[in-house]
Amino acid sequence: MSTRNYHDAIEHLNSLQTNAAALEAARAAGPRLNPNAIPEMIEFLERIEYTCEDLNTLNVIHITGTKGKGSASAFTDSILRHAKPNWKVGLYTSPHLVAVRERIRINGKPLSEEDFVKYFFEVWDRLNKNGPKTPDFPVMPNYFRYLTLMAFHAFMSEKVDATILEVGIGGAGDSTNIVPKPIVTGITTLGLDHTAVLGKTIGAIAWQKGGIYKKGVPALSVSQPEEGMEVLKKRAEELQAAYFMEVPSLPGSGSVKLGLAGGHQIQNAALAVQMAHTFLHSVDASELRPEPLLQLPEPFLAGLECTRWPGRCQTVLDPKYQDTTWYLDGAHTAESLSCCMQWFVQAGLGLKEPQSTRVLIFNCTSGRSGPAFLGTILEKTKELLLRQGREEKVENFFSHVIFCSNVTYADGHFKDDLTSRALSNADLLHLTTQHELAATWSQLIPTFPSDAIHVLPSIEHAVQTVRRVSNAERIDVLATGSLHLVGGVIEVAGLALVAL
């Protein structure tokens, strides 16, 4: 129907989100995954008129991990596009920052609104035409599953030469895990996240992540904690992977320029290099296992340097307020927040001469350990200040802290693409999570001025507070704890043209 537009597509998509009550019930039930997750996804795929074997033609590089999987995917995408400039390379990632279209990219560019609408409603109409075949299977997929189906459909329709496919949560039961034979699979750093779903130990999480390994397919991983590495090796053997490899360090890492900031990106780049190398070798040669790279080819070097992945250790100069600099990192685990502070608390960024006023904007979803996260931020900052011989006290590092919800605008509305039904109405009304974070901050730093701790109902309120502070002085703003928060800041602060 010609009257269908982008707004219509996003409204339909948002109707598939899981609401807050269902999420809370799932958390209360403990670690329990849907036993029918993969069979349901396969049936959804068949209802949009594809088979799993069809997906093998997408030439998939499948990536999971707790932190860094988005960055590793971006590095891999950039390397392939530089190594094979005549190819079409598809990239599927999550979440998005400002527009849902960011999740489905071809040759580095998000689908246009026109193409998004086209592929969205082709999938929608096929699902409605071809109803469920199995009793008790859902009529429609949830939000993430739908976008995964749509990505498969778009990439098949566009006849991409290669596909980088990032897992949503876990691996074994993830909706991306229906490709029978990827070209290569890789796992980034493991940590404790989504424990209510994946389990509460590194071993349990490794078991889920290792579920992307496939028979006859190379199984790669970065260095892991011993417990995690042992489980991954067993999973590779159990699933009959072609071989298991702990990826070598990045050749010439001291002289390689990376397009993404942060020391932790070296490991993500190393995984990307090995995945791209393995992928290209499988295209050009018959032997399964490629020789290790002793030095990086020019396209690999160019790909790593040109990688862009907004909202991850990103510095953005405010285009309208010249004395304001935004530091954006969607870190949402204790490990990634530690990496975030490692990046921020260094000369030329959070540490300057003369020193700017520093503001922290923070939020995390109610299922995550906000108080522990704030402790991580302060402990890491203290450690870094001591290590760099700074006399500055961690209690005085931030002049203001802002705890806001992920609601986009001050009138209580979301931008369409940023709508979240996972937020409890009661939590939003009373700002329960934000008040808990503020109370924790006061407990951790009893001397912190109460009038410099702000609990605010929206991201727009947070940006307005920053603007009031910045009227008088130079200001550095660190926004972290949630990619949804970072995306909202980019939208509301008018940073999209320079940040994305």
Question: Do the domain assignments include residue 414?
Answer: yes
What CATH number corresponds to the domain at position 371?
A: 3.90.190.20
Rg (CA), the chain: 22
Verify that 320 and 279 share a domain, yes or no.
Answer: no
pLDDT at 424 over 80: no
Verify that 395 and 468 share a domain, yes or no.
Answer: yes
Verify that 277 and 337 share a domain, yes or no.
Answer: no
- Binding site: which residues? 94, 166, 194, 312, 329
pLDDT at 65 over 80: yes
Q: Which pLDDT tens digit goes with each residue over 160-194?
A: 999 999 999 889 999 999 999 999 999 999 987 65
- Cβ partners under 8 Å of residue 300, min gap 6: 79, 82, 83, 273, 276, 277, 293
The per-residue pLDDT for 419 is: 79
Last residue of some domain: 276, 305, 334?
Answer: 305
Verify that 412 and 285 share a domain, yes or no.
Answer: no
- Distance spanning both ends of the chain, measured CA to CA: 31
Q: Which pLDDT tens digit goes with each residue over 109-125?
A: 999 999 999 999 999 99
**Stronger pLDDT, 175 or 499, i.e. the higher one:** 175
The number of distinct structural domains making up the chain is 2
pLDDT at 151 over 70: yes
pLDDT at 23 over 60: no
At 27, the pLDDT band (50, 70, 90 cuts) reads: very low
Helix then strand then coil, % of the chain, to nearest 5:
45, 15, 40
Question: Do the domain assignments include residue 469?
Answer: yes
Give CA–CA dist 234/86, Å, rounded: 38
What CATH number corresponds to the domain at position 241?
A: 3.40.1190.10
pLDDT at 293 over 70: yes
Last residue of some domain: 283, 305, 327?
Answer: 305
Verify that 20 and 94 share a domain, yes or no.
Answer: yes
Average pLDDT, integer, range 189-200: 68
**pTM for this entry:** 0.88
Note the residue count of the chain.
500
Strand 162-166 versus strand 60-64 pairing type? parallel
Distances 202 to 73, 109, 240, 297, 315 between C-alpha atoms, Å? 22, 35, 22, 35, 32
Going by the DSSP 8-state scheme, the letter that residue 489 receives in this structure is: H
Verify that 240 and 332 share a domain, yes or no.
Answer: no
Please return the burial class of 256, using the count of CB atoms within 10 Å of its CB with bins 0-12, 13-18 and 19+.
middle
Verify that 298 and 323 share a domain, yes or no.
Answer: no
Cβ–Cβ under 8 Å, residues 71 and 313: no
The per-residue pLDDT for 426 is: 61
Question: Do the domain assignments include residue 1?
Answer: no
The per-residue pLDDT for 432 is: 86
Question: Do the domain assignments include residue 280?
Answer: yes
Question: Do the domain assignments include residue 118?
Answer: yes
Question: Do the domain assignments include residue 239?
Answer: yes
- Binding site for Mg(2+): which residues? 94, 166, 194
Verify that 269 and 367 share a domain, yes or no.
Answer: no
Give CA–CA dist 95/474, Å, rounded: 32
Verify that 325 and 300 share a domain, yes or no.
Answer: no
Give CA–CA dist 492/460, Å, rounded: 6
Q: Which domain holds residue 202?
A: 6-305
Verify that 256 and 143 share a domain, yes or no.
Answer: yes
Verify that 278 and 333 share a domain, yes or no.
Answer: no
- Binding site for ATP: which residues? 312, 329
17 residue type, one letter: Q
Question: Do the domain assignments include residue 256?
Answer: yes
Nearest-CA neighbor of 95 among 433, 374, 427, 419?
A: 419
pLDDT at 236 over 90: yes
Give CA–CA dist 352/466, Å, rounded: 19
pLDDT at 199 over 70: no
Q: What is the four-CA torsion angle of 433, 436, 441, 447, rounded to 10 degrees?
A: 140
Question: Do the domain assignments include residue 340?
Answer: yes
Verify that 274 and 342 share a domain, yes or no.
Answer: no
Strand 104-106 versus strand 89-92 pairing type? antiparallel
Last residue of some domain: 305, 329, 351?
Answer: 305
